[in-house]
C-alpha cells in the first residue's frame, strides 16, 4: 500500500490497521470517515508507531486512542 498520497482510502487503511493492532473493542465507533485528510500526517504518525511497536503498554494504547479521538471531526 502506497501511503505517500493523502487520500480517504489511505486514511481508511491506516485506521483499520490501527484498530486491529490495538485490538480496539470499540473499533466500530472509530470510522475512517470521521477523519479529515487534513490530519493525514498525524494519522500516519500514529499508524507508523503502532505498526513498528509490538509491545505497547496499556497507557500508550490509551494515549493513542485519546489522540485518535482528538483528531476525529467534530460532529
Give domain limits for the chain. 33-75
For range 19-28, the mean pLDDT: 72
DSSP annotation of 57 reads -
Q: Do 35 and 11 contact (CB within 8 A), yes or no? A: yes
Q: Which residues of 7-42 are buried (b: 16+ CB within 10 A; e: fewer)?
A: eeebbeebbeebbebbebeeeeebebebbeeebbee
Q: What is the pTM of this model?
A: 0.79
Q: Do 36 and 7 contact (CB within 8 A), yes or no? A: no
Top mean-pLDDT range of 43-47, 57-61, 68-72? 43-47
pLDDT in tens, 26-54: 665 678 888 999 999 999 999 999 999 98
DSSP annotation of 64 reads H
Amino acid at each position: 500500500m502506497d501511503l505517500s498520497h493523502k487520500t480517504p482510502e489511505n486514511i481508511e487503511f491506516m485506521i483499520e490497521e490501527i484498530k486491529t493492532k490495538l485490538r480496539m473493542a470499540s473499533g466500530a465507533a472509530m470510522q475512517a470517515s470521521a477523519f479529515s485528510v487534513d490530519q493525514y500526517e498525524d494519522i500516519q504518525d500514529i499508524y507508523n508507531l503502532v505498526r513498528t511497536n509490538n509491545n505497547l503498554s496499556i497507557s500508550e494504547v490509551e494515549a493513542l486512542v485519546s489522540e485518535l479521538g482528538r483528531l476525529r471531526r467534530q460532529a
